[in-house]
Amino acid sequence: MSGSGGNQRPGLADDQASGYVYEFGSWLIEPQLNRIRKPGEEHQLEPRTIEVLTYLLEHAGEIVSIDDLLDNVWADRIVEPNAVHRNLARIRRALGDPPRAPEYIETISKRGYRTIARVTRVEATDSDPALKAALEAVTPPYPAYAGDEEYVFVCYSHNDRETVYRELVRLREAGVNVWYDEGIPPGSEWEQEIAGAIGNCSHFLLFVSPLAVASKHCLDEIQYARNRGRQLVVVYIEPTTLPEGLQLAIGRIQALFKYMMREKEYARKLLLSLTSEATSRPADVMRIPHWRRSFRRLTPFLAALLIVAALLVLSRSDLVERLLRSAPDNSIAVGRFEDLSPTSDQQWIGGSIVSELTVLFPQHGLQVIGTPTSNVEAALARYQVSGSTMRMRDRLRVTARLVSMDTQHQIWADVVFEGRIDPAQDVQLNVAKVIARAVAGNILEPSGDATLVNATPNEKVGALQQLPSTTERFPSFPDIEETPDEQN
């Protein structure tokens, strides 16, 4: 919903706020819409990518160094030069500008980049009246839902509305009813309107960004949704560090990292999250099993009698604990895949594997309980899978282990991948398939699959790469997706 303003990045605020567009060769560049287009072709770019392009256009014909781009486009963050290379690669792909024979952006070896096509900056009214209107006010795509059926409440920062509105259109096309703040009716009390919408929603969808977590309105809505026991679905639209208080509130909820995922895979998982009752139910509002509800209705005398009898018969504490568990025999908790990389900045690899496993395990007959940061929920499961990842440049090692939560004994452990990363392959997805198949074999069919067990780590992944896949690839590993010609 709402949000605080947030600051524009230095060097770009004035131009982007003034409604300027750029004619760049045959392309029209529209920074505030994150769009480039020409007759018959149009591309939507990520906000950071369009800012890199805008900075180059503002310094047309000049050699712009990597340090210049880092200082002006990433002024609020410390990032590696690879971030510039990646965004330049995206710009070139969108423009259809090969680095070996460029027509738009030239690489100056060891110095930086320079635009070589004609650049003209014009006000939006001079080039496209409709664009000017869109820049002045990004119009909500449709009215908020007001019927009696189930609906999703959307919490977001108004400064992210361009990105969020595209997601709202996606949800409506998929048949999801959505309530969002597209304008509180005149005379309505803001708190009353928002409280009613949150209290009656089936899911609370939070779009996380640095601006959203800095918004008091968003934080108030999240707290109210938790107090009312609403089911939270969390989507990161930008890399974001959660404040300590918010980490406690949503840090343990399995999230979708939109900016790291393929569009089709993200859309599939988002719709699955909004139609599943087991998405992210907090531990303090978990559904109480039926037998426990019935047990509470027993008289105190009968309840005491049953407890004493059970303790006399089941003297072993592990059997008592097993009796009190509510989870079925095929339940599993997905733990963390710890990042052991020397740079300690590759946590997203393990996060991608965890995200895939939560989808793959149910396909293998396993019931996923809890999240990687929920010790309370994980303790209810019969089994837990966890592991580690270690990346050194273009090489990756992934290990996994399966533990019985009843006995704390390790059932299975293996190196599931070790070798050079191939950007053309879905490494995280294929690794997750290996783990899901091995875990399911050990839980549901203890004899296992001898072909898979006796194979080397890379043979295991290779054997599964031919399996039919219902998912899109995860993004390539960051520092190997550019060609050498784009490096400086």
pLDDT score at 162: 79
Phi, then psi, of 398 in degrees rounded to 5: -125, 130
Per-residue pLDDT, 292: 43
Convert the pLDDT of each residue in 255-295 to its tens digit.
Answer: 899 988 888 888 888 988 887 654 444 333 333 344 444 44
133 and 80 in a single domain? The answer is yes
370 occurs within a structural domain: yes
Mean pLDDT throughout 379-394?
A: 86
Q: Which of 237, 212, 206, 236 is nearest to 47 (CA)?
A: 237
Are residues 132 and 148 located together in one domain of the fold? no
Contacts of 486 (CB under 8 A, 6+ apart): 85, 88, 89, 92, 99, 107
Q: Distance between CA atoms of 436 and 363, rounded to whole angstroms?
A: 9
Asked if 244 and 276 sit in the same domain, the reply is yes
Q: How many domains does the chain have?
A: 4
Instruction: From residue 140, give the alpha-carbon distance in Å to each of 38, 143, 146, 194.
Output: 25, 7, 15, 17
Residue 308 sits in the same domain as residue 355? no
Q: Note whether 358 and 463 are same-domain residues.
A: yes
Look at residue 13 in the predicted model and tell me its pLDDT: 38
pTM (two decimals): 0.36
Tokens 């293998």 correspond to: 364
d(Cα 48, Cα 244) in Å, to the nearest integer?
26
The average pLDDT across 319-330 equals 55
The confidence band for 10, taking pLDDT boundaries of 50, 70 and 90, is very low
Asked if residue 153 has pLDDT above 90, the reply is yes
Distance (Å, whole) CA 161 – CA 65 = 32
- 377 and 250 together in one domain: no
| Domain housing 396 | 326-488
| 21 falls within a domain | yes
Residues 75 and 118 in one domain: yes
Token duo for residue 145: 């839902």
Structure-derived torsion over alpha carbons of residues 305, 306, 308, 314, reported in degrees to the nearest 10: 160
Q: Is residue 1 part of a domain?
A: no
Task: Report how far Cα 328 is from the mean position of its chain's Cα atoms.
Answer: 29
Count CB-CB contacts under 10 A for residue 33.
Answer: 18
Q: In whole angstroms, what separates CA 316 from the centre of its chain?
A: 43
- The stretch 160-186 carries a mean pLDDT of 80
Q: Is residue 198 part of a domain?
A: yes
Angstrom distance (rounded) from CA 451 to CA 472: 27
Cβ atoms 55, 70 nearer than 8 A: no
Beta bridge partners of 178: 152
User: Using alpha carbons only, how large is the chain's radius of gyration in Å?
Assistant: 26
State the Cα–Cα distance between residues 92 and 184, nearest whole angstrom.
Answer: 42
- Look at residue 8 and tell me if it is in a domain: no
Arithmetic mean of pLDDT, 198-221: 91
Cα separation, 273 vs 1, whole angstroms? 19
Residues 371, 436, single domain; the answer is yes
If you count them, how many residues does the chain have? 488
Q: Is 154 exposed, middle or buried (0-12, 13-18, 19+ CB in 10 A)?
A: buried
Spatial contact of 364 and 330, defined as CB atoms under 8 Å apart = no
Pick the range with the lowest mean pLDDT from 24-38, 103-117, 370-384, 468-482: 468-482
C-alpha distances in Å from residue 1, one per residue of 5, 156, 361: 13, 4, 34
Q: Does the pLDDT of residue 182 top 70, yes or no?
A: no
**Residues 90 and 47 both lie in one domain:** yes
Average pLDDT over residues 146-153: 90
Q: Which tokens hold the place of 261?
A: 């995922």
Q: Between vectors from CA 270 to CA 340 and to CA 275, what angle results, nearest 5°?
A: 125
Tell me the C-alpha to C-alpha distance, in Å, between residue 138 and each of 162, 361, 416.
7, 41, 48
Amino acid, single-letter form, for residue 248 = L
Q: What mean pLDDT is predicted for residues 217-243?
A: 90
CA-based nearest residue to 332, from 283, 276, 403, 284: 403
Q: Are residues 142 and 236 in the same domain?
A: yes
Residue 399 pLDDT > 90: yes
Percent of the chain topping pLDDT 70: 68
- 351, 461: one domain: yes
- pLDDT above 90: percentage of residues in the chain: 25
My answer on whether 296 and 410 are in the same domain is: no
